[in-house]
């Protein structure tokens, strides 16, 4: 009886267990199916979201590009308009400074014998510095440089540059060469050298020398500028090289409050006129060695006459207006000059005064009066009387 | 950017300004190197010619063979008189030239003294 009951119980339990298992497995399947469905749905939504994100990203990128472009365009427009405004003013200043230099030279000639000349020379120095600045600004704004119509010795070009900086007496040009720069290269090289000299003077101690030498390296002519300054570190060297080669052109607005446009100006000039400038060397004093390398297109080996030698004296001894050069010596070993027909205005004749033994002529000249004209008349008349015979002992 | 044709600016002033030629030195005192002061190259000037500036060399060439007045040197070099005077002062400091000042007025014999001498001679010899 009890066993039967137990068997039944067991059977019931087993049946219940089987039923439960079946139910559970069904539920599990249903849950799994559910899960699959929701997962699929989620994946789809995720991919949708991803798609939207990518679109938005692309749009954002587009906007950013547009933004940058607009800003760049605006900056360029601002730069261009700034340059245009500055260029007009710079050209005005440039031509005014050039005019003033020419005018001042005329005045210096006019008052050459007056004590005011000393002050005029100083004004000339200030003016030359101003002209350099005006030229620099003009170059930065894309205006052309004032040009020279005559070739000049490289020595004179460096002297021209020397005159354009404040402490120009610190510059020592150690040698002279017969090499000349072609007319087209005179202005740009002078300005580039002036900027290098100014840089050398600014970054070295007051009073320390700045030495300029010339070297011929293969087909190039080098102007070498050595200063006794502190030199540059690697970063400064890299920056300077980028500026000088013209690779990096800073905007006007990037030049700052105390604009340093020396190197950018040199960079522009060297690209325009085809020379190279390098400042990475070390000078013999441990400062910077700047080298301007001029290719053979820019210079010649011809010797040029000094600028102010308008009328070469030695080459035309027979010209009536020129003073005849001493061609012979008197019996006493003193220099004697040839006879002159036409007296040079305002330049007194010193033939007889230079010879102590023609005292009669000398005294006659002095007695004739204080003015130079009278002096000259007296000398001439004195020579007619006594100088000619006294010199004539070895005359042919 | 620029519409107007850009005519080139021609620089007409001397390439080397006068103050560079004088190397910024000031004028010598007023009485030194007057128009009629005579200058000549000193004996050892020829040996230093190479180191001189072109202008100083030109001056030295002019006075190499004898005395020349300051005014003449200025006329031949086409430099202002003052610039020449500064150059000459520098060259005399470097013993490259010798300068001979014109005889000052005070040293000249007074006309009255000569007249007195003449009177005396006449009185003595009864000319």
Mark yes or no for CB contact A148/B103 under 8 Å.
Answer: no
CA distance A182 to chain B (A): 13
pLDDT of residue B46 exceeding 70, the answer is yes
A351 plus A288 within the same structural domain: no
Other CB atoms within a 10 A radius of the CB of residue A169 amount to 15
- Residue at A383 is within a domain: yes
In Å, how far are A18, A20, A307, B44 from A6, measured between CA atoms?
A: 18, 20, 139, 150
Whether residues A185 and A296 fall in one domain: yes
SS (H, E, C) A229-260: CCCCCHHHHHHHHHHHHCCCCCCHHHCCCCCC
- Which ipTM value was assigned to this complex? 0.78
Q: Are residues A164 and A283 in the same domain?
A: yes
Of B49 and A325, the one with more pLDDT: B49
| Of the partner residues A98, A118, A309, the one whose CB lies closest to the CB of residue B78 | A309
**Is residue A282 in some structural domain?**
yes
Residue A376 lies in a domain: yes
Q: Which residues of A215-241 are buried (b: 16+ CB within 10 A; e: fewer)?
A: eeeeebbbbbbbbbbebbeeeebeebb
Q: Using a CB-CB distance cutoff of 8 angstroms, which residues of chain A are in contact with residue B73?
A: none
| Chain A residues closer than 8 Å to B83 by CB | 108, 112, 117
A61-109 pLDDT, tens digit each = 999 999 999 999 998 898 888 888 888 888 999 999 999 999 999 999 9
**Domain for residue A267, yes or no?**
yes
Task: Note whether residue A88 is domain-resident.
Answer: no
Domains defined for chain B, CATH in brackets: 18-125 (1.10.10)
pTM for the structure as a whole: 0.69
Contact criterion met (CB < 8 Å) for A347 and B36: no
The shortest CB-CB distance from A308 to any of B36, B79, B108 is to: B79
- Contacts with A155 from chain B: Cβ below 8 Å: 54
Number of separate domains in chain A: 2
Only one residue has tokens 């997962």, namely: A39
Query: Does A374 fall in a domain?
Result: yes
| pLDDT of amino acid B50 | 73
Residues A181 and A256 in one domain: yes
Residues A363 and A276 in one domain: no
Q: Please report where in the chains the tokens 């040197």 appear, as a residue.
A: B73
Query: How far is A250 from chain B, CA to nearest CA, in Å?
Result: 19
Cβ A311 vs Cβ A322: under 8 Å: yes
Q: Which one has a higher pLDDT value, A363 or B61?
A: B61
What is the pLDDT tens value at each position of chain A, 396 positions in all?
788 888 998 999 999 999 999 999 999 999 999 999 999 999 999 999 999 999 999 999 999 999 999 999 998 898 888 888 888 888 999 999 999 999 999 999 999 989 999 999 999 999 999 999 999 989 988 888 988 999 999 999 999 999 999 999 999 999 888 899 999 999 999 999 999 999 999 998 888 999 999 999 888 999 999 999 888 888 988 989 999 988 888 887 777 777 788 899 999 999 999 999 999 999 988 899 999 999 999 999 876 555 444 433 343 344 444 444 444 544 544 554 444 444 444 444 444 344 444 444 444 444 444 445 544 554 555 455 444 444 444 444
Q: Which residue has the tokens 């890299």?
A: A238
Residues A266 and A158 in one domain: yes
Among A273, A300, A327, the domain boundary falls at A300
Same domain, A153 and A294: yes
Distance CA B41, CA B63 (A): 5
Count of A–B CB contacts within 8 Å?
165
Report pLDDT for A153.
93
Whether the pLDDT of residue B30 is over 80: the answer is: yes
Q: Which of A239, A269, A300 is the last residue of a domain?
A: A300
Q: What is the pLDDT of residue A354?
A: 40
The range of the structural domain enclosing residue A367 comes to: 346-394
Assigned domain for A214 exists = yes
Does A155 share its domain with A243?
yes
CATH number at residue A175: 3.30.565.10
Q: Is residue A54 in a domain?
A: no
Residues A223 and A296 in one domain: yes
Residues A247 and A378 in one domain: no
Same domain, A295 and A153: yes
- pLDDT of A369: 43
Q: Are A159 and A273 in the same domain?
A: yes
């Amino acid at each position: 009886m009890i066993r039967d009951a137990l068997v039944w119980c067991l059977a019931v339990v087993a049946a219940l267990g089987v039923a439960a298992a079946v139910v559970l497995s069904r539920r599990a399947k249903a849950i799994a199916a559910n899960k699959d469905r929701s997962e699929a749905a989620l994946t789809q939504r995720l991919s949708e979201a991803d798609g939207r994100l990518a679109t938005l990203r692309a749009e954002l990128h587009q906007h950013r590009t547009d933004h940058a472009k607009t800003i760049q365009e605006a900056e360029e427009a601002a730069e261009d308009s700034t340059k245009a405004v500055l260029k007009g003013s710079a050209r005005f200043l440039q031509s005014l400074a050039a005019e003033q230099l020419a005018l001042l030279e005329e005045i210096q000639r006019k008052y050459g014998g007056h004590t005011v000349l000393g002050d005029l020379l100083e004004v000339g120095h200030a003016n030359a510095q101003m002209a350099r600045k005006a030229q620099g600004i003009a170059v930065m704004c894309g205006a052309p440089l004032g040009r020279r119509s005559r070739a000049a010795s490289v020595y004179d070009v460096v002297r021209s540059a020397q005159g354009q900086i404040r402490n120009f007496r610190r510059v020592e040009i150690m040698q002279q060469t017969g090499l000349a720069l072609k007319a087209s290269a005179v202005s740009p090289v002078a300005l580039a050298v002036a900027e290098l000299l100014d840089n050398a003077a600014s970054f070295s101690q007051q009073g320390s020398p700045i030495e300029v030498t010339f070297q011929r390296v293969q087909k190039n002519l080098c102007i070498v500028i050595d200063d006794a300054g502190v030199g540059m570190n690697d970063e400064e060297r890299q920056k300077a090289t980028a500026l000088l080669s013209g690779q990096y052109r800073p905007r006007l607005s990037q030049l700052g409050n105390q604009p340093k446009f020396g190197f950018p100006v040199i960079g522009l000039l060297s690209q325009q006129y085809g020379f190279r400038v390098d400042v990475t060397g070390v000078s013999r004093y441990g400062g910077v060695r700047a080298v301007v390398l001029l290719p053979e297109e820019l210079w010649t080996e011809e010797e040029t006459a000094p600028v102010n030698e308008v009328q070469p004296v030695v080459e035309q001894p027979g010209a009536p207006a020129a003073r005849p050069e001493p061609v012979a010596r008197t019996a006493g070993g003193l220099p004697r000059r040839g006879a002159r027909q036409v007296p040079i205005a305002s330049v007194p004749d010193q033939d007889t005064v230079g010879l102590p033994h023609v005292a009669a002529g000398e005294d006659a000249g002095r007695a004739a009066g204080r003015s130079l004209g009278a002096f000259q008349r007296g000398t001439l008349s004195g020579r007619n009387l006594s100088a000619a015979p006294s010199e004539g002992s070895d005359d042919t | 950017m620029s519409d107007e044709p850009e005519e080139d600016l021609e620089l007409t002033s001397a390439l080397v300004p006068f103050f560079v030629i004088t190397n910024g030195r000031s004028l010598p005192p007023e009485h030194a190197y007057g128009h009629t002061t005579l200058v000549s190259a000193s004996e050892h000037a020829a040996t230093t010619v190479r180191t001189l500036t072109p202008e100083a060399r030109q001056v030295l060439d002019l006075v190499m063979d004898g005395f020349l007045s300051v005014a003449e040197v200025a006329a031949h070099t086409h430099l202002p008189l003052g610039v020449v005077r500064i150059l000459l002062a520098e060259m005399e400091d470097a013993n490259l030239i010798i300068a001979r000042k014109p005889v000052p007025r005070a040293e000249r014999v007074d006309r009255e003294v000569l007249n007195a001498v003449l009177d005396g001679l006449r009185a003595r010899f009864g000319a």
